[in-house]
Structure 1
Amino acid sequence: MDHVASSTPDARSVPVCYRHPDRESGVRCTRCERPICPECMVSASVGFQCPECVHGGGPAHPDTPAGAGAGRSMAAARPRTLAGGTMTADPRLFTKVLIGVNIALFLVQQAVGDSFTVRFAMIGQYPGVQGVADGQFYRLLTAMFLHGGITHLLFNMLSLWWIGGPLEAALGRARYLSLYFVSGLAGSALTYAVAPHTLSLGASGAIFGLFGATGVLMRRLNYNMRPLFALLVINLIITFTPGFNIAWEAHVGGLVAGVVTGYAMVHAPRRNRALVQYGTCALVLVAVAVLTLVRTTQLT
């Protein structure tokens, strides 16, 4: 008797291509999330899409109800990213904006001098300088956009372009920005909690958060994660090597927040996707606020 593969979930543990039911596949279309085989994969900015979605005929959302109103149908028909965000003409726009802001503020640092850097860098408590412990909580945010030199800036911006662009395309702009800022603030908060008497600055905390979320995304898409792990290990070795004078707290804090938030972004159930995604961001921010307030109470 010839064996005929079934596409029903209960019949087999491995999904099969929806266009070729006799072919198993662990890859899904990044738009409609239906399993597709290598023959059906069409390379996209992030991952692969099925032929129907590439040509505009695929389902925009698996849960779109039949008979929905015209306005609702038009909204549902908009192309969506893997995480549920709206696909845009320039999927790297906000990554470009973030890079531009970092470069612009670095130029301001060079023009104004150390007074500008000391005014907005991450300082918890230091003799003669008011810091976070004195109520200047904005430093948790502003420190993310300052850098200690041209090498520091270039390394971070290259990492942001390489990691941030594809991740923005996969998540969508709003989710990507939420991840970036949540990770950066988590890195600043851990730095404040562990080393409140040192000055720290840089986008590394946010970028390590993007690293963590990228790892979650690559695992979700069944990509080879060894290159990412190798790069991450190299960065962590540099982070903890004496003499580099790197705030490891920002890197670790951003990485943990990025993994947690990224997991929610990529694996949130479709029915309550936005609630789970942004709810997780809110919970991480609550943890940041609690950590900051507890440390402030200890220092004052």
Structure 2
Amino acid sequence: MTTGGPSYGERAEYGETDVCYRHPGRQSFTLCQRCGRTICPECQIASPVGVLCRDCVKQTAAGPKGAARVRRSARVAGRRFAALEYPVTMSIIAINVVVFVLQLLTHYYGSDGVTRALWYVPTYSLADGVHQVAPGALDGYPDGAYLNAEFQPWRMLTVMFTHSVGFIPHILFNMLALYMFGRNLEQLIGKWRFLALYLLAGIGGSLGVMLWGYADTSGLFTPTVGASGAIFGVLAATVVAFRSMNANVSSLVVLLAINFGIGFMPGANISWQAHLGGMVVGALAMWIIVQTRGPRLRTRQIVGLTALGVLLVALACAYLVVSPL
């Protein structure tokens, strides 16, 4: 039986298609492993999967290899961020800085739109609807007034990421304190516990402002901004943590007392109520963490911090039960 191709031991003859696709005058039997085209020795490029033509090598270099480089860069960036010893602290600082830049932009070009959207005024804890303001409770309205309130409790959380645009040291001092004390506390108790403590302390600061409305109704109409409540919570938590390890915390207590006392200075325009609320909640959250440390008490710790959060939420609804007006 005869076949169309050469038999073993016979010399092969080149066919019409056995020529290089780039050099038609050069004959070859070598095929590209990717596209199947005939390539001469000059056009052959060795690869791990066999011999490839130059066009296929260019396509693979421009396509999958470039995409792989982007994916690899993203993975490396993610691993570097995860490898930080205090990612929560740095993330909070970054958020505050970004929000502050947006505040500045809208302060000069947008009527303080960002600040007004994020600040906290105790009247936002009142129930929706019209409320009667008692005579003398609001400056400029000696005979009283009527207030159209909107219940927006989420501002108790958003306010901790805003700062005064008229006093730049406000954000500088807060972020410096967070960097100095927050990263150490985060390393000590872990990132998730630190995040929970920070948020709880921040809400505690807003609660301090809100609950003071029962004692002084004029404060119900005063907007507050700043992460100071959460920062004071971090400082108080650091005192509790170090005290549980029998460390000398005298200098830290003095620093905390001095900064808290500054809020009572005439004309300081500082909300000491937020500082007090943040300190109380931050110390309480840290006490729960200290009392339930260890893997065997992890469930108790989660329950304790959750119960504290539920208590804060309940207190945030106090105006709905007993109005301060």
TM-score by length of 1: 0.66
CA RMSD of aligned residues (A): 2.2
Structure exhibiting the larger radius of gyration computed from Cα positions: 2
**Alignment partners' CA distance in 1, 2:174 and 2:243:** 24
Specify the SS of the correspondent of 1:224: coil
Q: Which aligned pairs between 1:186-265 and structure 2 lie closer than 5 A?
A: 186-194=204-212, 195-265=219-289
Alignment match of 1:138 (pick from 151, 154, 168): 154
Determine the C-alpha separation between the residues in 2 that align with 1:235 and 1:260: 20
Correspondence for 1:95 among 66, 89, 92: 89
Give the secondary-structure state (helix, strand or coil) at the position aligned to 1:196. helix
1:10-21 alignment to 2 at 5 Å? Answer: none
Q: Match for 1:108 among 96, 102, 109? A: 102
Unaligned runs of 5+ residues in structure 2 are 1-81, 125-137, 139-144, 213-218
- Matches of 1:241 and 1:226, distance apart in 2: 23
Supply the AA of the counterpart residue of 1:244: A
Q: 1:117-156: per-residue Cα shift (whole Å, max 9, x none)?
A: 112101122899x99x522111101100000031100010
The AA in structure 2 aligned to 1:90 is L
Q: Distance in 1 between matches of 2:272 and 2:296?
A: 35
Q: CA deviation at 1:277?
A: 2.3
Give the alignment partner of residue 161 of structure 1, picking from 176, 179, 199: 179
How many angstroms does 1:186 deviate by? 1.1
Listed one character per residue, the Cα deviations across residues 221-253 of structure 1 (whole Å, up to 9, x for unaligned) are 222211101210111111222211111111111
Equivalent position SS for 2:92: helix
TM-score between the two structures when normalised by the length of structure 2? 0.61
Tell me the equivalent position of 1:40. none
Residue matched to 2:170: 152
Instruction: Give unpaired runs (5+ residues) of structure 1.
Output: 1-87
* Bigger mean CA offset, 100-109 vs 211-220: 211-220
Indicate the residue corresponding to 1:6 in structure 2: none
User: How far 1:208 moved relative to its partner?
Assistant: 0.8
* 1:299 Cα offset (Å): 5.5
Give the whole-Å Cα distance in 2 for the aligned partners of 1:200 and 1:275. Answer: 36
Could you say which residue in structure 2 is the equivalent of 1:283? 307
Residues matched between the structures, number: 211
Aligned to 2:43: none
Identity percentage of aligned residues: 35
